[in-house]
Amino acid sequence: MKQVLTKSTEETRELARQFACSLKHGDCVALIGSLGSGKTEFTRGITDVFNCTEQLTSPTFTILNIYNGSRSGETFTIHHFDWYRLNSPEELYNIGFEEYLYGNGVSVIEWADKFPDLVPKTAKRIELHRSTESERLITFAQSFPLR
Ligand SMILES: Nc1ncnc2c1ncn2[C@@H]1O[C@H](COP(=O)(O)OP(=O)(O)OP(=O)(O)O)[C@@H](O)[C@H]1O
Ligand SMILES: [Mg+2]
């Protein structure tokens, strides 16, 4: 387990960039933390590394945003989920979410703890905690099930 205290939005994004360098096709990142804890900022660091040109928006009102990117010449699709407003897993099954989570590319799930049973067992679990207005304690767990 690794813990980092970031002191600004930029530090969180930089931490995410370092983390994203080791992501591989098929990896899933499960982000867990309350409102405003920095999950979307962390995701921005990930899309930076994959040179996603499209501006990342908070997917709060959509279940999934898809970004096309590349890293070292290799193309990657980033699947950015936000489960905050999901009421039931049905909505995820309706969009065929498993194909995104278990297919090629990298998936990021905000509010992954809402439906722990639907998170791939190999997901990289990252917890974000708002310590103060500008500080976030970010904990990287080993890959292990959320449940
Ligand atoms: N150290 C920090 N790391 C990340 N964000 C920070 C930090 N300090 C302040 N902030 C601010 O906190 C906010 C984090 O917002 P963000 O949208 O990333 O949260 P979120 O976890 O995605 O929330 P939500 O659950 O609503 O989607 C931003 O306004 C950001 O500028
Ligand atoms: Mg968010």
Percent of the chain with pLDDT over 70: 91
Contacts (Cβ under 8 Å, ≥6 apart) of 57: 65
Domains of the chain: 2-140 (3.40.50.300)
Instruction: Measure the CA–CA gap between 60 and 65, rounded to whole angstroms.
Output: 10
Q: In the predicted model, what is the mean pLDDT of the chain?
A: 91
- Which residues are bridge partners to 6 per DSSP? 136
Residue owning the nearest CA to atom 31 of ligand 1 = 9
Structure confidence at residue 58 (pLDDT): 61
Q: Is the pTM of this model over 0.85?
A: yes
pLDDT band at residue 32 using 50, 70 and 90 as cut-offs: very high
Structure confidence at residue 54 (pLDDT): 76
Instruction: Measure the CA–CA gap between 128 and 113, rounded to whole angstroms.
Output: 12
Residue 108 has pLDDT above 70, yes or no: yes
The stretch 107-116 carries a mean pLDDT of 96
pLDDT band at residue 63 using 50, 70 and 90 as cut-offs: confident
Which atom of ligand 1 sits closest to the CA of residue 7? 1
Instruction: Measure the CA–CA gap between 68 and 74, rounded to whole angstroms.
Output: 11
Ligand 2 centroid distance, CA of 110 (Å): 6
